[in-house]
Structure 1
Amino acid sequence: MSTFISLLRQHQQAFEQQYDNKLNHDMRSAIHAMLSCQTQQQQQVKWRCTECEHSEQHPISCGHRHCPQCQHQTTSDWLMRQQQKLLPTHYFMVTLTIPYQLRALARYQSKAFYKILFGVAQSTLKDFAKRQNKGEMGFTMVLHTHNRKRDLHPHLHVIIPAGRYDNVKQVWHKGDKHYLFNEFALAKVWRARLLDAINHHDTLVLPQQLPRKWIVDCRHIGYGEHALQYLSRYLYRGVLPDRDILKVTSNSVTFRYRDGQTNQWKIRVLPPLQFIWLILQHALPKGFQRVRDYGFLRGNAKTVRLRIQQLLMTVTKWIAPIQEPIRGKAKRRCPCCQHDMQYAGIIRLS
């Protein structure tokens, strides 16, 4: 069992009493799902072997995206899909941040706030690309809700291939590997548009004092593969992996994190209830998409994307990634004869 789920089960009553006024519906749903994940209270899935008649029953996983015991297949599937979209060109990563004064909106009105965050970010980037007047840009946008210490710190990572595609002339315009956008100008527009969008929302209210300068980072990251692997670690495997929880006592939880400045491991110690809140505050609204593709990287632009890859294959020695099928049926190997077992249905426990 996951260390975090074990902690949650042990301290559930005390935690819900202490944080009752802070818990929203999505957090409570996450708690319920994780506590029932792979337990005897869940329905059971039955497997049988057609060769030796061996059969097994296993508790069903909850499938919740914040559960540390689930979603490992989802992570590998997402990474494979993104790798199939890679182009033989330089990539940039743009990081759009918000000041800490807006984090209360992310915590208590997350669905409305994050929707605005994505909308403003994608329109701002598209408008900056139009100024270069060289065709359509493609990019993948990922929402991260925490910093390395796991405090609430919403920000957007955007992976962008350096180049544009002219769909009319069917020409690829190579980008500059040393420059994408002016990050200071991007930060000013990002700030102005986001504040304006929040001001025009029916329920979101801006705090009185906000910094005049916001931080936007725009940097060259090589050929994209490394950035995709980095982002995939934090998408579907929970906020903190078990391997980083070093020690659990009745009074404290010790976990490690890697410092962003020194790249060295550091230690953080919290009381159990505070640690549980630290993790659960990152629960996202049901159905909310934290990863989105735009331009020629969007899902329904496969034909355009393949055309771009073919164009680039003619000028480089690059070989397009194999379009492997994603996510087949679940499989299980028989422990007796090593043949594939057959799914035999769901057993509903009374």
Structure 2
Amino acid sequence: MAARAEDLLPVEYFHMVFTLPAEIARIAYWNKRSVYGLLFKASAQTVLTIAADPKRMDARVGMTSVLHTWGSALTHHPHIHMIVPGGGLSPSGNRWVACKPGFFLHVRVLSRLFRRLFIEGLLALHRSGELVFFGDLAELSEPQAFTTYLAPLRKIEWVVVAPEARLRHDAKPPFGGPEAVIAYLSRYTHRVAISNSRLISADANTVAFRWKDYRVKSGGKRAVMRLSTSEFIRRFLIHVLPDRFHRIRHYGLLASSGRKANIAKVRALLGVQIAEQNSNPPVTNAIPLTLREPCPGCGGQMRIIETFLRGQKPQSRAPPRKVAA
């Protein structure tokens, strides 16, 4: 979180959500790496393209995207939570272009471009043989059947939730300042499909947990769901991501390759004074912090022996690794 705090700007932030239709989620179930990757790419490209339109903001924006794959009942519900600063750099790069207070981009415009970009990307994945199909979807291996399956999805409105509180009852309110962004990231970026606080009971046969039915429009209906233990495990494992798949990604001004320079430029344009940080953090005699997780090698307790800022070189050295004969 400290690294992300360094990247925040003193502007309004917006929370957007891009959701896949259930018909696409069925394809994603068997093709997580390809379809989730496309979800990241299409949603980011949607915002970058519309924000850069001279009729909209005419600005180069940035965003942090977080993948969630679950609904409240642990069902498969892939969607992207996107955190976007309220503005961007002008095409010339010498001016900060702020969006209207409390409003970022039109939901309907976002939804339709997202739909087109995603379907085009999905067809490209199919042509390149990167999708697999099983069970009642096996026939979609044929190009014509796949095209026919996608045809109705070109006509429906895809769910994109953005801060248009005056127009939509389900709109996400603007985040406000950077502090709210940090609070969100600390709560949600590394969460799993269900937290311990929602669990009520569990035994060899049944697991009970709290859930919220979002189909009920008046704030959602809270209830208790009871599943067989095997079904609970099945639903939980749906949300295990492919090996080395990154569920948090940054795009545009916040892309890793140019983030540091872009943020420095924006801060200069906004006239923000950044306090210099001490490159040598003070040494304290506090009791070393310990980690809850045991050492994977010996099972003993692990202690934090040093902390250092991003970009600093650690002073401590790891013990030599034993090489098997």
Q: Same-fold call, TM > 0.5?
A: yes
Are residues 101 and 264 of structure 1, via their aligned partners in 2, closer, same or farther at CA, if it must alter by over 3 Å? closer
Do structure 1's residue 268 and structure 2's residue 225 form an aligned pair? Answer: yes
**For structure 1, which runs of at least 5 residues remain unmatched after alignment?**
1-78, 326-330
Match of 1:153 in 2: 77
Do structure 1's residue 86 and structure 2's residue 8 form an aligned pair? Answer: yes
Match of 2:34 in 1: 112
Counterpart-to-counterpart distance in 2, 1:159 and 1:225: 13
| Secondary structure in 1 matching 2:38 | helix
Match of 2:190 in 1: 236
Are residues 271 and 122 of structure 1, via their aligned partners in 2, closer, same or farther at CA, if it must alter by over 3 Å? same
| 1:152 to partner: Cα distance | 0.8
Q: Is the 8 A contact 1:83 1:321 kept in 2?
A: no
Counterpart-to-counterpart distance in 2, 1:274 and 1:291: 28
Are residues 187 and 127 of structure 1, via their aligned partners in 2, closer, same or farther at CA, if it must alter by over 3 Å? same
Counterpart-to-counterpart distance in 2, 1:236 and 1:293: 15
Q: Is the 8 A contact 1:93 1:158 kept in 2?
A: yes
Counterpart code for 1:145: T
Match of 2:255 in 1: 298
Number of aligned positions between the proteins: 258
For the aligned residue pairs, the C-alpha RMSD in angstroms reads 3.2
Match of 1:312 in 2: 270
Match of 1:248 in 2: 202
Match of 2:156 in 1: 212
Are residues 252 and 281 of structure 1, via their aligned partners in 2, closer, same or farther at CA, if it must alter by over 3 Å? same
Match of 1:139 in 2: 63
**For structure 2, which runs of at least 5 residues remain unmatched after alignment?**
132-139, 141-145, 164-173, 280-287, 291-302, 307-315
Q: TM-score, normalising length from structure 2?
A: 0.69
Match of 1:14 in 2: none
Are residues 276 and 90 of structure 1, via their aligned partners in 2, closer, same or farther at CA, if it must alter by over 3 Å? same
Counterpart-to-counterpart distance in 2, 1:167 and 1:184: 25
Deviations 1:155-210 (A, max 9, x none): 11111111111374522122212321110121111112211221222334543553
Q: TM-score, normalising length from structure 1?
A: 0.64
Are residues 87 and 250 of structure 1, via their aligned partners in 2, closer, same or farther at CA, if it must alter by over 3 Å? same
1:162 to 82, 86, 91: 86
Q: Is the 8 A contact 2:57 2:99 kept in 1?
A: no
Match of 2:295 in 1: none
Counterpart-to-counterpart distance in 2, 1:144 and 1:324: 37
Q: Is the 8 A contact 1:135 1:164 kept in 2?
A: yes
Q: Is the 8 A contact 1:138 1:161 kept in 2?
A: yes
| Secondary structure in 1 matching 2:46 | helix
